[in-house]
Chain A
Amino acid sequence: GEDVEQSLFLSVREGDSSVINCTYTDSSSTYLYWYKQEPGAGLQLLTYIFSNMDMKQDQRLTVLLNKKDKHLSLRIADTQTGDSAIYFCAERRSQGNLIFGKGTKLSVKP
């Protein structure tokens, strides 16, 4: 299909790890992104990965890319209540625009 797919909801306990999964569509996409959107706020770029990498780590965030399966994941270690938000996966098309998934709402329970 033409859509970037994500599960809509994820609930975790504070201190646990969260894993948000995404499948994208265009095998020629060169960059893949994770954005965070808190209630009433704009889109915050969290991290991105180039398609020739299979992993990128940035503090509590780990991005894994399986290019063969067109699967991207974001792992948040030691999840905190402040991590509660909607997380969007996006792929960059050759024209430069981003195609977004519908977003995964992460709820962190104390």
Chain B
Amino acid sequence: GAGVSQSPSNKVTEKGKDVELRCDPISGHTALYWYRQSLGQGLEFLIYFQGNSAPDKSGLPSDRFSAERTGGSVSTLTIQRTQQEDSAVYLCASSRGGLAQTYEQYFGPGTRLTVT
């Protein structure tokens, strides 16, 4: 079946602009996670959605970062007023949650963000 998909695959933006990154989780997966991978920091957790519950935003590095998940499926990660240190690969993962919870998290291919 289809895996986690993310778009765009690459994004180059100028410092100070806003960007939106999209994630389509695996169909039927109610849990969705955003991570980012950078050379200096490795893989960092950003935010977690589970069903209709309030998201766990504990990993967001600043208030310039926000995410939403519409209809319990597609998620958008927004970075406002981008800075050069935001350059990284942004990864989305999904897993089954709720009563059918399993513990495998499957990752998308990522969006490589470059802030110039």
Contacts and interface: CB of A to CB of B under 8 A. Distances in A.
B45 A98 contact: yes
Contacts of A87: none
* Interface secondary structure of B, over-half rule: strand
B109 interface: yes
* Interface secondary structure of A, over-half rule: strand
A45 B33 CA distance: 15
Nearest to B59: A97
Interface in B30-77: 31, 33, 35, 42-43, 45, 48, 50, 56, 58-59
Interface residues of B, number: 23
Interface of B: 31, 33, 35, 42-43, 45, 48, 50, 56, 58-59, 91, 93, 95, 97, 103-110
Interface of A: 30-31, 33, 35, 41-45, 48, 50, 88, 90, 92, 95-103
9 contacts: A42-B110, A45-B107, A50-B103, A96-B95, A96-B97, A98-B43, A98-B105, A101-B42, A103-B42
